[in-house]
Chains A and B, each alone.
Chain A
Amino acid sequence: MIRALHPVKPKLVVIGNGMAGARLLEDVLALDSELFDITVFGDEPYGNYNRILLSNVLNGSQDAKEIFLNSLEWYKENDITLHAGQRVTKVDREAKTVHAGELTVPYDYLVFATGSKPFVPPVPGTSLHGVFVFRTLDDCRNIANYAKGCKNAVVIGGGLLGLEAAKGLMTHNVGVTVIEMAPWLMSVQLDEAGGKVLGQTIEKMGITAKTGASTKEFIGHTQVTGVRFADGSEIPADMVVVSAGIRPNTDLAKESGLKCDRALVVDDQLRTNDPAVFGVGECVQHNGMIYGLVAPLWEQTKVLAKVLTGVDTVAAYTGSKIATKLKVMGVELASMGRISDLQSTDEVVQFSEPSRRVYWKAIIRDGKVNAACLLGDLGPADDLMRMFHAGTSAPERRLELFFSANTEKKETSLADLPDSHQICDCNGVCKGTIVKAINAGKCTLPAVGKATRAGTGCGSCKKLIKGLIEAVAGGVKADPSEGWYVPAVPMDKPTLVFEVKARGLKSVSAVLAELGTSEDEKSKAGLASMLKGLWGSEYIDERDARFVNDRVHANIQKDGTFSVVPRAYGGVTTADELIRIGEVAKKYNVPMVKYTGGQRIDLLGIKKEDLPGVWRDLGMPSGYAYTKALRTVKTCVGSEFCRYGTNDSTSLGIALEKRYQGFEFPAKVKLGVSGCPRNCAESTVKDVGVVATEGGEWEVSIGGAAGAHVRKSDVLCRVKTQAEAIKVIGRFLIYYRDNAKWLERTYDFVPRIGLEAIRSIIVEDSLGIGGDLDYEVEKTAAAYVDPWLERDYPVYAGQFDDARRISLPVLT
């Protein structure tokens, strides 16, 4: 019926009905179940099955029926023509037809999912009776049947599949010897020490492992009787299972004239050199890599389905990070990356517990988990895999890779703290005081804050306070104000922005008059920041909505004096500037001249009335070290002078600072640029950090902090040029400016929104707002005026004045 309605449905032909081919069909159908007229060719006379579970069939723990993914009925139901057990013999790319024996099927799109075949070493005797490969359901059955009359089985190959085969054979009461050419078992996933641990473990189970052994010949007349090695030694064997790895099935692709290297070469859209022909799974080579595990295959089929259906024609497969958890012969094993890929600059973290046969090893490259293997106990595996996949930095204390500080324990111990324990270090509030407030009914963060001031400083203790409320009162009461942008206006930010725009409210007083329920300093400052970003030059700037720092463009100190930090772009200065700063310090008797953590010079103890003069004499722009705006861009020396530097971090830092100076945000924003992965500018604990990598790229990360709250930033993307870095950072900064809550630092904002979501919006432009963000950057940059120029034109009465002296009339 459907066919009649759509007589010209494009024809999709898939060669291969293994896990890749079948999964691709599922993915395509999920996106558009009626788009294609689908035909599938499968070598085996079945629907498709989960090859990973083959060893379970071999050892009898699962029935063959249980490992099928899609039955033959499934193909019928989905209107897919399946040619099971029919091998494609020829592809005519000119005519766009596929031939299998007598059968000719035309295609519009053709997908190679031909998978791989077992590698059989080119030694004599492979055709003897009793020599098997272990790859298909039929192999499985044949091995199981043959094993019944056998005493000694030899498995060639001590990799994953070989060990699985050995495990399967064990259940058939056969003595099993595993032969591995490499010096240890599972040489891809494990290092030597790990391989030895595994060897000991399986020996305990009654399997003999012979490593470093090169097979020379299978001996026997018609039936195999033994295996001979390169060193001349022999062992008896009445059956042999060859499981020495796999090789991609590329014969058909090669014969069809498609470009093949070690496998069928595909691009990021899984397309071959013929635009109508694609490849997926173990038979393809992407970016030099061939994957033999199932996870990368899922990633590939997902992308290919999008490309084929046109849902996302530029969907890109960019390679897979290999990580697996498996159980080999009862031994738990987790493997990430390539453990054998060790460079001299890598850091190796290892732990072993020989009595329990536990062995953990992680390789840290550029501060990240590059590879790891865990054996015997997978306690830290999940955390390691998360780090490995996300590309987040390894903990500073490397031992936390394996023995992470258990946060749950921390929280439960909250109840055990003495009442005198200080919870809020900013305001010096002890646990006892907070508990008292909670018992008095203050069961929200703001209520506790109002009653005790706890949590109203830097806010880093809020989690602890929440924990206390939970422990004491049994739960934190829902606090509707938590979602509000500022306390005085009961709206979240998007609603507020909408109302403000709809009503044309361009000043803080107008917003408070129309939408506000109260008036407080925090709300005023928050609204001022938001309105400035929203209206730009149309914003009506009421100075009473600003905190004193933002009125006099300096940071108030405990004695009412101010600190002055001029901009030093990228932390770079000159002799002349230094002399000028020195002269200013002398002229105004500056009590303290200090280097800041952000590579600038701070003049502390300046009287308010001296500010204009100090600025004038410095002749440098404001460093904004007093407000919620772009602060410093810390840099390392970089390739200009540093003998390790791989890229010009100072020039990028300067460019970033010049571009984004004067940008105001919901909270302060600090940047860092490091010229090599040594990361001397500590870029990974900045709101936005950039680190040059080997190969001339820049890695941009976001959401870092190293204050009251310490957080390692999350990698947003890698870019090739400074211009790209500046652009993507600008997009992120504007997105943060427009979406963060007032005073919400990036270290809270990034996890709240989610790194993946931010990446898709900022890097992949999934919302299509990239252009708008760029425009906002332009607009904001164009609006920049050095606030210190107000030195010559004070904006309101007494802006920079000392107390006016009034003498009292003499009493009479």
Chain B
Amino acid sequence: MSQTIAPPPRFTTICEMHELPIGLGRSFRIGEQSVAVFRTRTGKVFAVANECPHKGGPLADGMLAGEQVVCPLHTFRFDSTSGECDQPGVCAVATFPVEVVDGFVRIGITA
């Protein structure tokens, strides 16, 4: 039996930490992928696809409720780690691994 193993994500530097507003998100277009990157008040940085699975709202413009991002269009919420929505019947949003190295924010994108 052969098994396909997904290639490990490649981390790409997108910005410096101070370029992320505190408690808010910012949108990036990394290759073909739109990504919303957030910096919580507690210092955690996380990234999700910048398109709400519900109606395509720009999640980067959303507010944070703890470690959930709230879509600005219809207030659907998505978990920063699992990407799961708080409403039944709405798909989870894709999440991306993040690392902060020497003040630089790096996102893992599987191309």
The CB with the most chain B CB atoms within 10 A, among A453, A558, A806, is that of A806
A556 CA to B55 CA in the complex, in Å? Answer: 14
A1 CA to B87 CA, complexed, in Å: 78
CB distance from A100 to the nearest CB of B (A): 79
B14, B22, B24, B58 interface centre (most CB from chain A within 10 Å): B24
Taken together as a complex, chains A and B put the C-alpha atoms of A548 and B57 apart, in Å, by: 12
> How far is the CB of A805 from the nearest CB of chain B, in Å?
5
Contact A808 B30 (CB under 8 A): yes
CA distance A560 to B111 in the complex (A): 26
**Complex alpha-carbon distance, A803 and B28, angstroms:** 5
Decide: A803 near B27, CB < 8 A? Known: A518-B66, A519-B66, A811-B111.
yes
- Which residues of chain A are within 8 angstroms of B62 by Cβ–Cβ distance? 521, 548
In the bound complex, CA of A14 to CA of B2 (Å): 111
Contact string, A771-802, partner B, CB cutoff 8 A, digits 1/0? 00000000000000000000000001111011
CB distance from A517 to the nearest CB of B (A): 11
- B31 to A808, Cβ gap below 8 A? yes
Partner of B70, one of A521, A802, A809: A521
Any A CB within 8 A of the CB of B29:
yes
* CB pair A519 B72 closer than 8 Å: no
Is B92 in the interface zone, CB < 8 Å from A?
no
Which residues from 1 to 56 on chain B have a C-beta closer than 8 Å to any C-beta of chain A?
Answer: 10, 12, 14-15, 18-24, 26-31, 34, 41, 50, 55-56
B residues in contact with A521, CB < 8 Å? 62-65, 70, 75
Asked if B73 contacts A801 (CB within 8 A), the reply is no
B111 close to A796 (CB less than 8 A): no
With A453-B87, A509-B41, A521-B70 as known contacts, state yes or no: A544 contacts B22, CB within 8 Å: yes
Q: Is the CB of A798 within 8 A of B65?
A: no
Query: Does A520 belong to the interface (CB within 8 Å)?
Result: yes
On whether the beta carbons of A806 and B14 are closer than 8 Å, the reply is: yes
- Interface size grouping (class) on chain B: 35 or more
Is B109 located at the chain interface by the 8 A CB criterion? yes
A686 an interface residue at 8 Å Cβ cutoff? no
Q: In A184-241, which residues have CB < 8 Å from any B CB? A: none
Give chain B nearest CB distance to A446 CB in angstroms.
13
Whether B12 contacts A806 by the Cβ 8 Å rule is yes
| Known A544-B41, A560-B58, A560-B61: A806·B29 in contact at CB below 8 Å | yes
Instruction: Write out, one digit per residue, whether chain B residues 88-111 have a CB within 8 A of any chain A CB (1) or not (0).
Output: 000000000000000000000101
Across the interface, do A808 and B109 meet the contact criterion of CB distance under 8 Å? Answer: yes
Please, which residues of chain A bring their CB within 8 A of the CB of B73?
556, 558
Q: In the complex the two chains form, is B28's CB within 8 Å of A806's CB?
A: yes
A519-B66, A544-B41 known; A804 and B22 CB under 8 Å?
no
Closest to A552 in B: B61
Interface string of A505-544 (1 = CB under 8 A from B): 0000100000000111100110000000000000000111
Please tell me if the beta carbons of B29 and A804 are within 8 angstroms of each other in the complex.
yes
Chain B residues with Cβ under 8 A from A546's Cβ? 63
| A355 on interface, CB distance cutoff 8 Å | no
Docked Cα-Cα span, A560 to B66, in Å, equals: 23
Q: How far is the CA of A800 from the CA of B87 in the complex (A)?
A: 30
A807 at interface, CB cutoff 8 A = yes
In the bound complex, residues from chain A placing their C-beta under 8 Å from that of B22 are 542, 544, 796
The answer on a CB contact under 8 Å between A801 and B26 is: yes
Q: Which residues of B have CB within 8 Å of A543?
A: 21, 23-24
Interface residue count on the A side (C-beta < 8 Å) = 36
Quick check: A548 and B26 within 8 Å, CB to CB? Answer: no
- The answer to the question of A547 belonging to the interface, with a C-beta cut-off of 8 Å to chain B, is yes
**Cβ contacts under 8 Å, B56 to chain A:** 559-560
* Contact B65 A804, beta carbon cutoff 8 Å: no
A797 touches B26 (CB 8 A): yes
User: When chains A and B are docked, how far (Å) is the Cα of A520 from the Cα of B62?
Assistant: 12
A806: contacting residue among B30, B55, B70, CB under 8 A? B30
CA distance A808 to B18 in the complex (A): 22
Q: How far is the CB of A150 from chain B (nearest CB, A)?
A: 83
How long is the Cα–Cα vector from A543 to B22 in the complex, in angstroms?
A: 8
In the bound complex, do residue B21 and residue A796 qualify as a contact, i.e. CB atoms below 8 Å apart? Answer: yes
Give the residue of B12, B24, B28, B72 whose beta carbon is less than 8 angstroms from that of A809. Answer: B12
Q: Which of A556, A559, A802 is B72 in contact with, Cβ under 8 Å?
A: A556
Knowing A519-B65, A803-B27 touch, does A547 contact B72 (C-beta < 8 A)?
Answer: yes
Chain B residues in 8 Å Cβ range of A524: 63
Q: Quote the shortest CB–CB distance from B93 to chain A (angstroms).
A: 15
CB distance from A518 to the nearest CB of B (A): 7
Complex Cα gap A203–B28 (Å): 90
Chain B contacts for A548, CB-based, 8 A: 61-63, 72
User: Which of B26, B41, B56, B63 neighbours the largest number of chain A CB atoms within 10 Å of its CB?
Assistant: B63
Minimum CB–CB distance for B90 against chain A, Å: 11
A807 with B41, Cβ < 8 A, contacts A518-B66, A560-B57 known = no
Per the bound structure, the CA–CA distance linking A59 and B103 in Å amounts to: 100
Residues B66 and A798 in contact, CB atoms below 8 Å apart: no
B87 proximity list for chain A (CB < 8 A)? 453
Chain B residues within an 8 Å CB radius of A798: 19-21, 26
Expressed in whole angstroms, the Cα–Cα distance for A432 and B31 within the complex equals 45
- Closest partner residue, chain B, to A561 (CB atom): B58
Alpha-carbon gap, A124 to B107, bound state (A): 112
CB distance from B26 to the nearest CB of A (A): 4
With a cutoff of 8 Å between Cβ atoms, the chain A residues found around residue B111 in the complex are: 808, 811
Q: B19 is contacted by which of A525, A547, A797 (Cβ under 8 Å)?
A: A797
Choice from A456, A547, A811 contacting B63 with Cβ under 8 Å? A547
Chain A residues with CB under 8 Å of B21's CB are 543-544, 796-799
Q: State whether A804 and B14 are in contact (beta carbons under 8 Å apart), knowing that A543-B21, A558-B73, A798-B19 are contacts in the complex.
A: yes
The smallest C-beta distance from B73 to any residue of chain A, in angstroms, reads 7
Q: Contact between B28 and A804 (Cβ–Cβ < 8 Å)?
A: yes
Question: Chain B: which residue is nearest A799 at the CB level?
Answer: B21
Complex Cα spacing A587 to B70, Å: 33
Task: Please give, as numbers and ranges, the residues of chain B lying within 8 Å of A509 by CB-CB distance.
Answer: 23, 41
Given A558-B73, A798-B19: A544 and B63 interface contact (C-beta under 8 Å):
yes
**Does B28 lie within 8 Å of A807, measured CB to CB?**
no
Minimum CB distance partner of B32 in chain A: A808
Partner of A803, one of B24, B34, B55, B64: B34
Q: Which residues of B contact A802 (CB under 8 A)?
A: 27
How many angstroms from the CA of A796 to the CA of B64 in the assembled complex?
16
Chain A residue at minimum C-beta to C-beta distance from B38? A544
Nearest chain A CB to B36's CB is how many angstroms away? 9
What CA separation (Å) do A139 and B70 show in the bound complex? 81
Given known A797-B21, A804-B14, contact A558–B64 (CB-CB < 8 A): no
Per a CB cutoff under 8 Å, which of B60, B64, B66 touches A544? B64
Which A residues between 249 and 294 are near B, CB-CB below 8 angstroms?
none
A556 to B62, CA, bound (A): 11
| Chain B neighbourhood of A542, CB < 8 A | 22-23
| Residue of chain A at shortest CB distance from B61 | A548
Shortest C-beta distance, B62 to chain A (Å), equals 7
B55 in contact with A558 (CB, 8 Å): yes
Closest to A562 in B: B61
Across the interface, which residues of B come within 8 angstroms of A797, CB to CB?
Answer: 18-21, 26
In the complex the two chains form, what is the Cα distance from A552 to B50 in whole Å?
Answer: 18
Residues of B within 8 A of A804 (CB): 14-15, 26-29
Distance in angstroms from B16 CB to nearest chain A CB is 10
B residues sitting closer than 8 Å to A (CB atoms) are 10, 12, 14-15, 18-24, 26-31, 34, 41, 50, 55-58, 60-66, 70, 72-73, 75, 87, 109, 111
A-B contact pairs, 24 of them (CB 8 A): A456-B75, A518-B65, A521-B64, A521-B75, A525-B63, A542-B23, A543-B24, A544-B21, A544-B24, A547-B63, A547-B72, A548-B63, A556-B73, A558-B57, A560-B61, A796-B21, A798-B20, A798-B21, A799-B21, A806-B12, A806-B14, A806-B28, A806-B31, A808-B30
The 5 closest A-B pairs by CB, nearest first: A544-B23, A521-B63, A803-B27, A808-B31, A796-B21
Other than the given A796-B22, A808-B10, 5 more pairs (CB < 8 A) read: A521-B64, A547-B72, A796-B24, A798-B21, A802-B27
